[in-house]
Chain A
């Protein structure tokens, strides 16, 4: 262990000697405070906070990711290229110990730098409300909608496979489906999927004057005194005048409304909201029924003259406080750290058999692809034709699944809507990205490095 640690300390020294590390540190040290004072977002305190945290964390993550890739590759390739490895590996140190030492050095350095910048961003974020001298109502809003950690529940989805089958049968008897679709199971499945999509869309669309109702179950806020929030977003078929949708909402135990004598209060509100942006309706927590049920009804005003749709992912959701901002922020930083650990292992792995520039290129490709991995999976799946799809299933698809899913664990996406990052998410990310993917890469790295000839061929 002392040997691994000796290599690790040397790696940190080596990294700090790289001008790029110091440059990044200085850059962040200047940029973060500057961003804190300059960025205003939409002008409100909350917008300002959201903009700063989002951009600050993204910038830090990006620069630290780059730094991790560069350092982890450099520390091994330069040792081999400049041949310090000759005197190191001939000492009583196993090759895996050298790899472990290098990795530990990069990770320790990352941990230190991430702690430094995370603390800086946190300090600035906490300081912003006092700095901008915000009015009390904005501060109050920021406190409940930003400086908190909220959990969210999505509406219950009913099983519609029966309806899908019925619709398919209806279309078949109406001769709307071509014969080749009926024969080819692949095309048939695709047809079923598209029917399912259109039925789901119908479920969350309302033309003017019509209403939509959602059921939420197991809504259990930590503090019943606090408000709960209905977060929603509109999409429309035709843009309404001024881009505003007028609506009425009923929130509470809607089941009892039908019975006639509600025991828990039902809150009603009339609103006008812009389209394509998330909005929140604050409702006292006593609207929730004793069994954890909450009903939400949306009634589109007849003057809208358009079909209002709620998008699948962020269409509608109930949010309630489930934790504190500080601990949530800490978990967000952990998510970034997991990503950096993965990149460190990736860099070391690439460096065990590639030269510096090639390894950098490989890692950047993986890094950039990972940021957009969700999109890439979708895009390739969508465009693939029947024969290509089969090829794709056995080649690119498994490779893409091996990529880290940076887009699904983006800390900004949690911190901006003040959404709770569950420990289970941290565990899942750590398990998949470090416990499985990084571990495979690390074993691969050790395997390659153990059999690799470290001396150059000089004859």
Chain B
């Protein structure tokens, strides 16, 4: 099997002024990324993801070990002409317009003028910046700069695309678009290395992932396999009435085997956190932030332990800590099934929430599916959580993640 990206014992340590080793950012990393694979490199902040990418691209020199892209050194123009790279922030020349920016990068690839012009227009169209193509990119918002960054990475129609946190600063539509681009490129036989801590993004597009902590791979494999929980069972049904549900319970109690049964999926999030906290328990050194999973008292006030790991559920049942205990494992599984069997769903949800259309329908659905006991909830209580969702959408990132972390932590 030919690997597109390979690292052999890749190590990077940073030393202080006196040459004493201070930090081991990447520790004998062995990555093998196959052709036509979407590979996700995950890890908490400071786990060595970006350092790995910088070494792959020759921006940092490895302390030990080496790396190959397409079987060669990334500094070789023959290799780098087939590589696309989007750094963690789009570092652009502020004085160039969007079109000039792409033209400049096109020239660095020595693309013929005709090809260059055609590609620039196509890319501007794709990232939705055609209308502002003649404006200096210094005036662009972060998301717009990100889009130019993506266009820049694609101008050479790369065989290998290396994306460092591609969705930061992007709106949900832009996020969706990046994922679509990734999937489309995969269809066309390209290889993509994606580095992110936005787990939902990774889960949607990646074939294989590796979770880094303290510069070492803690876990790696195919997403589907990693998330499968073989010791549990999950029942998938269509819409069912309360009576049916009761009946199902009875039937299960009587141990019937008429139902469609499959292995339930663990959320990537839970898996990720489990892996990282395992590593923390082993007291592995990290140069990055160490999440304590605690939230400041003033923030946590009124929060209650939750069984679910879904924000929506948590929000809906927020004011009802007691009912949670009544919840059966079965109902949760039903919900999980819904999540995992319909993969593109989360994004439609996001879009819907943005456009305020499915806003009401979403929690309703969950309520209905989880249990009749939720019917007791009054209308105002339902609206409260929805506002919260919007807030979270407008402040993406840490806040949402922290909540999620907390949820899953309490879950265990």
Contacts and interface: CB of A to CB of B under 8 A. Distances in A.
Interface of A: 2-3, 5-7, 10, 13-14, 17, 82-95, 451, 453-455, 457-459
A349 to B, nearest CB: 21
Given A13-B96, A84-B93, A92-B80, A451 B61 contact: yes
Contact of B95 (A17, A86, A93): A17
A87 B152 CA distance: 8
B105 A87 contact: yes
Nearest to B59: A455
Contacts of B93: 10, 13-14, 84
Interface in B341-387: none
Given A10-B104, A92-B108, 4 more contacts: A87-B85, A90-B83, A91-B105, A451-B61
Interface in B142-170: 149, 152, 156
B3 interface: no
A3 B107 contact: yes
Contacts of A459: 14, 23, 25, 46, 48, 51, 287-288
Contact of A91 (B46, B78, B109): B109
26 contacts: A2-B110, A3-B107, A6-B107, A6-B108, A14-B93, A17-B95, A83-B91, A84-B91, A86-B59, A86-B85, A86-B91, A87-B149, A89-B58, A90-B85, A91-B80, A92-B77, A92-B79, A92-B109, A93-B108, A94-B75, A453-B59, A453-B60, A455-B54, A457-B25, A459-B23, A459-B48
B212 to A, nearest CB: 12
A94 B77 CA distance: 7
B85 A92 contact: no
B74 interface: yes
Question: What are the nearest 5 A-B pairs in CB distance?
Answer: A92-B77, A6-B107, A455-B59, A92-B81, A459-B287
Nearest to A95: B75
Contact of B80 (A17, A83, A90, A455): A90
Nearest to B92: A84
Contacts of A88: 108
A13 B95 contact: yes
Nearest to A78: B93
B50 interface: yes
Contact of B59 (A84, A90, A91, A451): A90
Nearest to A82: B91
Contacts of B48: 459
Interface residues of B, number: 41
B71 to A, nearest CB: 16
Contacts of A95: 75
Given A91-B108, A92-B109, A453 B23 contact: no
B141 to A, nearest CB: 18
Nearest to B83: A90
B9 interface: no
Nearest to A101: B108
B98 interface: no
B316 interface: no
A367 B370 CA distance: 78
Interface string B12-47: 001000000001010000000000000000000010
Contacts of B57: 90
A451 B60 CA distance: 10
A248 B48 CA distance: 88
A7 B109 CA distance: 12
Interface string B67-93: 000000011011111010101011111
Nearest to B48: A459
B60 A455 contact: yes
A458 B50 contact: yes
A10 B93 CA distance: 9
Contacts of B54: 455
B103 to A, nearest CB: 9
A91 B101 CA distance: 14
A88 B57 CA distance: 11
A9 B54 CA distance: 27
A2 B110 CA distance: 7
Nearest to B136: A17
A356 B91 CA distance: 19
B95 A14 contact: yes
Contacts of A90: 57-59, 74, 80, 83, 85
Nearest to A18: B95
Interface centre among A2, A13, A84, A459 (most CB of B within 10 A): A459
Nearest to B74: A90
Nearest to A94: B77
A458 to B, nearest CB: 7
Contact of A3 (B46, B110, B288): B110
Nearest to B286: A459
A247 to B, nearest CB: 65
B108 A3 contact: yes
Most B CB within 10 A of own CB, among A17, A84, A86: A86
A7 B110 CA distance: 12
B85 to A, nearest CB: 5
